[in-house]
Amino acid sequence: MAYSFSFWTTIILIAVMMGVIQGTCAYLVFVERKLAAYVQDRVGPNRVGPFGLFQPIADGLKFIFKEEIIPVQVDKLFYLIAPAIAASTALLAFAVVPFGPTNAPPERVWPQTMEQEAKADPVFDENVKKYNEAEIRFVIAPHVDIGIVFVFAVTSLSVYGIILGGWSSNNKYSMIGALRSSAQLISYEIPMGMSVLGVVLMSDSLNPERIIAYQVEAGWNVLYQPLACLLFLVCVLAECNRLPFDLPEAEQELVGGYHTEYGAMKFALYFLGEYTHMITTSFLLVILFLGGWHFPWLQESGIAAIMLKLLVIALKMVLLIVFYMLIRWTIPRFRFDQLMGLAWKVLMPLALVNLTCVMVVKHLGWSSWWLTASSFVMLLTAAYLTLVQRLPRSGRPLRPSAESAMALTR
Amino acid sequence: MPLTEQEIKWVEEPKIGLVEQLYLPAIFAGLQTTVKHLFQHKITQQFPEQKPKLPANYRGVHRLNRDEQGRVKCVACYMCSTACPARCIDIVAAPSPWPDREKYPEVFVIDELRCIYCGMCEQACPVDAIELTTLYDLTGMSREEMMFDKEKLLSVFDETVKAGTDPIRSRGGKLGVASEQPAGEALPMSSTAPS
């Protein structure tokens, strides 16, 4: 019994979501400008349209009409492909992310032998028929059983957009900026994937729809694995090149960066890719840890409930993005070596230990609240170890002696 | 000069405890500040609707002052033209039609685009004829339009006096010394006065 696939529904959904995502990106830039302004005691753009609401349209028109310059020294093919890669991989990752109410696809014990496969399973067929008849599912590619891995794989491809952009620009500053940015991205992908593995283990599936269904029964994952949520949040901030990890973007203010040789629409594509990435990863965080479209007292079905659930997931995502924007104006930026040290020395071991705790709890069948306790214990232990590591070891003087200091001044 | 032990000041990093090492409480406190600023009063001045309050000695467009009888005060002494660092003032003097002064400016042109708005002409003028007003938002459609001649400068005077924004600036409330002397006579204490 096969899952149904409706060609026209999918096409329409793709078209609608492409439009919605790109429109949301444009308005997110506007929200970012307004939020930045309000935090800095000023008013953001407010001239174009009421309260500046047509500003993104003005920005879009500007990018469309701006002159496309291709400098002479660039490698033309990669120069033109790189922003396209950045934007398209970010959009592609959205294909498996549910943005509205979904049902979990029915489970089945996969047949291990030919006899088992030949034997029909009527219960499973019945469930699949019910699943097929369900209302429209708010995900472009439903029942992809490797959903989370697909998202991470495709977002890893977006690193190519940056590397190719820096390389093809034929500019040493672009090259260094691109290398730094790609080093940051690939080192933060590892703790990002590992922090999600705890959630995946608890819900027995990589399928986002099943993960949401698990949270509907058992409670949101942020309650049981707050440390994993925090790790994922930090890694998402690093993946999207947002402060406090925006050293590649800060380099633009200082010297160059992989954006240097890009103008008009190609530049807009890079930013579209970045904001789409932000949207996709905050949807992921909401789905993995914050319960997706689930709201505690909202269990009914019907058109009103569907609209409400859509609104709930959209609201959670928007609140998370507003949080990212507020964090941007709160914390100072990491230096590059501090950034890499954070990823490899702090986040990855924490993610590994978190995974071990989840494995232990799941194997022994204990209650999930042990995981919450272990998260706090791990966090405090990590802080303690960092503190202890800073203290001077005995036998080595903490201050240089006065004589050596005076010798330096001669 | 060799340093002594007492002159060296050792600075240590402040000690942080376990909870502070997490950085989360500090981030949370920072977020509180950020969110507090979201709701505070905004200091932006919405420009065309709200104009800025300029100080009284703001250096904007020039004007030629009139005296009580409505005549131009300027006596074409060329002091402002000589003092101007940008050399934007052009004067052509002529014998004045009025009995109480020798000369008056037949042509008085200031190139507002060359002007650097330093106020040297205002300081140089002995009769308080030329002043800088608080008008800053002047525009023109061509370079020729921005060369203000005498009529234009006098009209700036009429406008600002009517609007009441720019009172006549004079030194200490009194008019300049040269403007009170009748024409043809030297100053009382001048050493070159005919005895």
Domains and CATH numbers, chain B: 62-168 (3.30.70.3270)
**Range of A215's domain?**
67-104+133-387
Please state the rounded mean pLDDT for residues A99-110: 76
- A185 in any annotated domain: yes
Among A290-304, A346-360, B23-37, B157-171, where is mean pLDDT lowest?
B157-171
Residues of chain A found within 8 Å of residue B16, distances taken between Cβ atoms = 387
Tokens 């002594």, located at residue: B4
Looking at chain A, the whole-number percentage of residues with pLDDT higher than 70 is: 91
Instruction: Give per-residue pLDDT as tens, A164-177.
Output: 988 888 888 888 88
pLDDT at B47: 85
Residues of chain B found within 8 Å of residue A329, distances taken between Cβ atoms = 34
pLDDT at B172: 46
- A395 in any annotated domain: no
- A290 in any annotated domain: yes
Which residue does chain A place closest to B29, by CA atoms?
A330
Six token digits for residue A404: 């050596």
Residues of chain A found within 8 Å of residue B33, distances taken between Cβ atoms = 330
From residue A226, alpha-carbon distances to A166, A215, A232, A292, B128 in Å are: 37, 14, 10, 16, 76
Which residue does chain A place closest to B36, by CA atoms?
A39
pLDDT-based confidence at B48, cuts 50/70/90?
Answer: confident
Q: How far is A30 from chain B (nearest CA, A)?
A: 16
Tell me, what amino acid is at B117?
Y
Six token digits for residue B117: 């708005």
Helix segments in A169-246, DSSP class H: 172-203, 208-218, 221-224, 226-239
pLDDT at A357: 92
- A42 in any annotated domain: no
Query: In chain B, which among 21-80 make CB contacts under 8 A with chain A?
Result: 21-22, 27, 30-31, 33-35, 37-38, 40-44, 46
Do B18 and A384 make contact, defined as CB atoms within 8 angstroms? Answer: yes
Q: How far is A332 from chain B (nearest CA, A)?
A: 10
Instruction: Give per-residue pLDDT as tens, A256-273.
Output: 677 777 878 888 888 889
- A2 in any annotated domain: no
- A87 in any annotated domain: yes
- A124 in any annotated domain: no
Instruction: Give per-residue pLDDT as tens, A283-322.
Output: 999 999 998 888 887 777 777 888 888 888 899 999 999 9
pLDDT-based confidence at B2, cuts 50/70/90?
Answer: confident
Q: Total structural domains in chain A?
A: 1
Q: How far is B134 from chain A (nearest CA, A)?
A: 26
Q: Which range, A58-67, A100-109, B168-177, has the best average confidence (pLDDT)? A: A58-67
d(CA B48, CA A33): 22
Backbone phi, psi, residue B105, to 5°? -80, 120
Please indicate, yes or no, whether the overall pTM of this predicted structure exceeds 0.95: no
Give the helix/strand (H/E) hosting B111: strand B103-111
Which residue does chain B place closest to A46, by CA atoms?
B46
Q: How many CB pairs under 8 A join A and B?
A: 58
Q: Is residue A401 less than 8 Å (CB to CB) from chain B? A: no
Please state the rounded mean pLDDT for residues A133-144: 75
- A28 in any annotated domain: no
DSSP structure string for B43-82: ----TTTS-----TT---SEEE-B-TTS-B------HHHH
Assess: ipTM above 0.90.
Answer: no
